[in-house]
């Protein structure tokens, strides 16, 4: 597999296969998916967290192998994923001759504006929405000066153990995303993805880490991508064995006790302890849509998940 500055996560849950972001580079996404034997032509849907290139750069390749897959994306005014507005949004002046008016004075009721991928099957999300049983998209807007008004989606899966939260870059603030997730379920079991603290100062990092640990009682974390190396260190110190490495190619099993199954850069074991073995046996005895069928494989440089069960 090839590292890159990007994020792509494949999640399998409740019988569904979900691609969260597409990384930075279409060739690298193709190469890494092939290396992990991930069939991107077989997906239930895709989530694009936000419009930055290191998260949507591989979308062209994805569409070449799966052109009609449903893609959830944030709704932004005249954004790259498309946009629509009632034509009543603009003021009109009927004294002008028709040829000098928009649409010759007879605009359509709804004006649709193009996207960078005009044939893609986008569904734009403006507010937090449950898109499938137990699967929510949290929609927030950044108020940070460098990303002011940037809209971002995060994936919140409400499992029997609590919320499993997959975040792309956390531009609105990882603390605000987690707070929004607690409105779905106050128990936050596991957070995977980019926390966007890569250039933050130590006091700011410490504040976020303590907020996640003490205020929100987050059980497990698997940070990657734009989280930042000092933040990796701080999280590992405070969360201890509840911190999971989540680099390129890593497979994460999200059960009662999340664990890394395989991947570069960590001493992962494929041996389950007795509690997890019991959970796994219970899982096998249940139907294919059991809520605990979730794992993660990382397909891009920072972090990304895909399930194995």
Stretch 12-25: mean pLDDT, rounded? 96
pTM: 0.86
CA atoms within 13 A on the CB side of 54: 16
Stretch 60-70: mean pLDDT, rounded? 98
| Domain boundaries 9-81+116-298, CATH class | alpha beta
Q: How confident is the model at residue 68, as a pLDDT?
A: 97
pLDDT at 265 over 60: no
Digit-coded pLDDT (tens) for 72-131: 999 999 999 999 999 999 999 999 999 999 999 999 999 999 999 999 999 999 999 999
Q: Which of 95-109, 128-142, 235-249, 279-293 has the lowest mean pLDDT?
A: 279-293
* Numbered ranges of CATH 3.60.15.10 in the chain: 9-81+116-298
Residue 246 and residue 298: Cα distance in Å, rounded?
Answer: 7
Which neighbouring-strand residues pair with 157?
135, 164
Cα 50–298–169 angle (5° rounding)? 25
Higher pLDDT, 254 or 166: 166
Residue 233 and residue 51: Cα distance in Å, rounded?
Answer: 28
Q: How confident is the model at residue 261 (pLDDT cuts 50, 70, 90)?
A: confident
Q: How far is CA 177 from the centre of its chain?
A: 12
Alpha helices (H) in the chain, listed in sequence order:
26-35, 53-56, 59-65, 174-182, 202-210, 229-239, 274-285
Q: How confident is the model at residue 262, as a pLDDT?
A: 65
Q: How confident is the model at residue 260 (pLDDT cuts 50, 70, 90)?
A: confident
């Amino acid at each position: 597999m090839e590292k890159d500055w990007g994020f792509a996560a494949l999640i399998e849950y409740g019988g569904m296969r979900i691609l969260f972001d597409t990384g930075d580079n279409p060739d690298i996404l193709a190469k890494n998916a092939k290396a992990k034997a991930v069939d991107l032509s077989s997906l239930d849907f895709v989530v694009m967290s936000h419009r930055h290139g290191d998260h949507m750069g591989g979308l062209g390749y994805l569409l070449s192998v799966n052109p009609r897959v449903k893609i959830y994306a944030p709704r932004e005014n005249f954004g790259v994923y498309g946009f629509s507005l009632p034509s009543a949004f603009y003021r009109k002046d009927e004294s002008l001759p028709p040829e000098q008016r928009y649409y010759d004075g007879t605009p359509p009721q709804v004006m649709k504006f193009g996207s960078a991928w005009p044939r893609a099957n986008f569904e734009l999300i403006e507010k937090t929405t449950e898109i499938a049983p137990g699967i929510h998209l949290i929609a927030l807007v950044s108020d940070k000066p460098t990303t002011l008004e940037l809209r971002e989606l995060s994936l919140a899966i409400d499992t029997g153990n609590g919320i499993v939260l997959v975040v792309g870059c956390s531009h609105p603030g990882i603390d605000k995303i987690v707070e929004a997730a607690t409105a779905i379920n106050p128990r936050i079991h596991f957070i995977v993805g980019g926390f966007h603290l890569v250039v933050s100062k130590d006091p700011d990092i410490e504040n976020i880490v303590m907020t996640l640990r003490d205020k929100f009682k987050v059980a497990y974390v698997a940070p990657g991508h734009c989280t930042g190396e000092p933040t990796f260190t701080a999280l590992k110190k405070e969360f201890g064995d509840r911190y999971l490495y989540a680099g390129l190619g890593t497979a994460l099993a999200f059960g009662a006790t999340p664990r890394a199954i395989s991947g570069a850069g960590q001493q992962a074991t494929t041996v389950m302890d007795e509690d997890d073995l019991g959970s796994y046996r219970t899982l096998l005895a249940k139907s294919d849509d059991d809520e605990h069928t979730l794992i993660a494989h990382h397909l891009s440089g920072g972090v990304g998940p895909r399930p194995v069960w």
